[in-house]
Structure formats: C-alpha cells, structure tokens
Amino acid sequence: MILAIGEFDGAVLGRAPKELLFSPVRDLRFSADKTPYNPSFRAHIGPAGKLPIPVGYFLTLRPGGRSFLAGGLFAFMFQDATARIRERIAANGEEWEAILRDEAFSSHFCLKGEQLKRVPRGFDANHPQAEALKRKSWYVETRLPDEFLLGRDRAPRAAEIFRAMKPFNAFLNAALADFEMQKR
C-alpha cells in the first residue's frame, strides 16, 4: 500500500511499515479473555507515520463489513489546527467546493466530522462555506465490503480510492503546513 500510494503521493514514501501500523494493544498474559482490544488491522499511511498531522491515508481491515478507507483530520482536540483549516476554507472556498464536488472524490466519499451549532466567532455566518466552517474535524471514509478484502487486486483498488482523496488531503495539509504536534 505504501508503494501504491507513493506513486501519486510521494510524501508517504520512506516510512517503515512498523511506523504506520497500530497494534491491537492489550495485555493478555493474565486475562481469561484472550481477544485483542481492537482486532482490526489499522494503519495510517502518512508523511509523519501514525501522527494525525500532516493528514494521510487511514486503512482499517476488519471482517464483517467493518473495513473502511479514510482520510482527513479527525482531531478536534487540536484547536490551532482547526482554526488553520477554517481560515483556509474561508479564504479558498471555491477550491474547497471543487474538491468536494469532484466526481472521483464524491463517488467514494462525503464529508464527515463533528459540528458546532453556529459558525465560530470571526467568520461570517453567511459565508458560502458556513457549514464547513462549523466543523471541528474534517474527514471522509468509504466502507469496504468483505469481498473487497478477498480480491488479489485489493491494494491497487484501495490506492485508486485513495488517489481520489489526495486533493482533499492536500488542501488540509496546505492549511497545516507549519503545524507542530505537541510533544508528549
């Protein structure tokens, strides 16, 4: 997947797979229940590995119709990042709308994320992108049927879906260009 995505987004290249994978964390040594905490295969294929910023391509594989491909920023706890994205949407509304209306993008994705009830202070309530400015996070996802996981061509097909997401991620990453994650 890294190489397939790297063909159209070179920023994801150069990361070792272990830097991108989320482990099903749970200490099973002394537990009667040996099921993992999260039995999904999950990875964030992004320029900074698993870190949510800069945004990348999120993959969850889990049988039972619970697999999906996603992207964007699902991190409303980063108020500075949220403010930067709102400012970029307000200043580049036509570009934002063009990305969301793009046929390749809209055939797979629709915008999701928690929203405020009103447009935040500092932004015009009548702004053409008022609904997007209300958001606290901006992410997209597409569900994958189990049949998708069984096909031999699943990686190239997933990469093509992610290709449609690239302009969306690029827009968000332009807003977050010099954003620094807080140190732990």
**Interval 59-87: pLDDT, tens:** 998 888 889 999 999 877 788 899 999 99
Q: Which residue has the higher pLDDT, 14 or 92?
A: 92
Judge whether residue 99 has pLDDT over 90: yes
CB contact at 8 A, 135 and 113 = yes
| Owner of token pair 């097909």 | 157
pLDDT recorded at residue 21: 82
Judge whether residue 136 has pLDDT over 70: yes
Residue 162, C-beta contacts closer than 8 angstroms, at least 6 positions apart: 5, 9, 57, 69, 71
pTM: 0.88
d(CA 140, CA 58): 10
Once rounded to an integer, what is the mean pLDDT over residues 127-135?
96
How many other β-carbons are positioned within 10 Å of the β-carbon of residue 137? 19
pLDDT recorded at residue 182: 72
pLDDT recorded at residue 180: 80
Kindly indicate the confidence band of residue 159, based on its pLDDT and cuts at 50, 70 and 90: very high
Q: Which residue has the higher pLDDT, 151 or 154?
A: 154
Q: What is the mean pLDDT of the chain?
A: 89
Kindly indicate the confidence band of residue 174, based on its pLDDT and cuts at 50, 70 and 90: very high
CB contact at 8 A, 22 and 44 = yes
CB contact at 8 A, 5 and 12 = yes
